[in-house]
Structures are given as C-alpha cells and as structure tokens.
Amino acid sequence: MNSLADQFLVLCLLLNFAVLGTSRLNFSVRAVALQGVLLGVLPALVHPISWHLAFIVVSIVLVKGALIPFLIIRAIKRAEIEREFQPFIGYIPSLVLGALFTTLAFIFAAKLPLAPEHSGLLVVPASLATLMCGFLVLMGRRKAISQVLGYLLMENGIFLFGLLLADAMPVMVEAGALLDLLVGIFVMGIVINHISREFSSIDTSRLSALREE
C-alpha cells in the first residue's frame, strides 16, 4: 500500500465525519460521491494496471461518483427538502460516536488474524470504520434520503474490505455488487416517493402512524 493510497483512505475517514456532522443533504450526497470516486480510484493505486482493472475503476467511478448521486439529488429536489433538522441522534453525539467507532475499528483491526501482507494496512480499519459510520447514519436519521446515504456508506465500507481480495475478485462479482447497489437505490427511491406522496414528508418516523383499516 503506497502513501497516496493511505492519504485517500484518511480522506475517506474524514468524509465519514463530514456526513455525520452536517444537516445539509446536498453536501452529504457530494461527500458520499467524493468518497465513492476515491474508492473507485484506489484499486488503480494498489494493483498493476490492466484492462480488467481499468474497467472496474471506470465502472465504480461512474456509478458511485455520478449516477447514484444524480439519482439522489433528483429525489431531494422532488421532495423539496434541503436539511434534516431533527435526527434521532444529534449531530454532535453522532460525531462523538463516529470518533468512538473509528477508534474501535483501529483497535479491532489490530487484533484480527490477517495475512502478513495485509497487516498494518489502513484498509481494514478504514473499512470497519466506514461500515459502522454508515450504520450510525442509517439508524440515527429520520429522512429516508439520509438513510440511503447511510446505506451507501456501509456499501463503501464493504467495498473497501473487498480490496483485500481484489486479485481474486472476478469482474462479474464486482458487477453483481454494483447491480445490487443500484437495485437498492431504486427500491429506496420508490419508497421515498410513496412516503412523500402519502405523508407530504419523507420522515420515516411517521410510518408509525400507519394503521390497518
């Protein structure tokens, strides 16, 4: 792992905190998109360039950095919201918990029985920290769009962990993961649209008001 890749991973960790600490949905989408672009470029920094690798890099950058953010920003414009004012977990507590999860990720990664060539890398703690920060966003926000962003952070963490297996990862497996991600985004888009239509809001806590007739 070269120093540039480590700098990318540190930037990914900082972007986790950017998402945890802001109420601006557009800013959060751009932060997650930038994290997706960094993760897309990362394989090219740690593995020899090949046509297979170039295809994976271009696909990931286009999907994570352009297509998915475009779909989410369009959903934000249709829902006519800009901020999330009353999350389940406040922004300061979210940042504190994010710092705690990141610390625990580094401690836990140091105790994992990793292969000698993977020990000491930032990939494992960065992947665990991103996964837990995504889970925190998913559980701590009311708006469905914010929860989609948490889902994307979690997927980014899983993708980071998969970099350790990049040599053995065939194109179809990566394409399948991206397809699952796109399907998840479309399903969430449909859910957001129905929630917005029925409740004039995308606050998921209002789902508790549903009753059988």
Residue boundaries of the structural domains of the chain: 3-198
Neighbours of 80 (CB within 10 A): 8
Q: How confident is the model at residue 147 (pLDDT cuts 50, 70, 90)?
A: confident
Q: What is the pTM of this model?
A: 0.81
- How much is the mean pLDDT over the chain? 80
Retrieve residue 207's tokens.
């789902």
Q: What pLDDT shows up at residue 160?
A: 83
Q: How many residues does the chain have?
A: 213
For 175-208, write each residue's pLDDT tens digit: 656 666 666 666 666 666 666 665 656 566 665 5
Q: What pLDDT shows up at residue 19?
A: 94
The set of residues, in sequence order, having a beta carbon less than 8 Å from that of 3 and lying 6+ positions away, is: none
Burial class (CB in 10 A: 0-12, 13-18, 19+), 62: middle
For 33-73, write each residue's pLDDT tens digit: 999 899 888 888 877 777 877 877 888 888 888 888 888 88
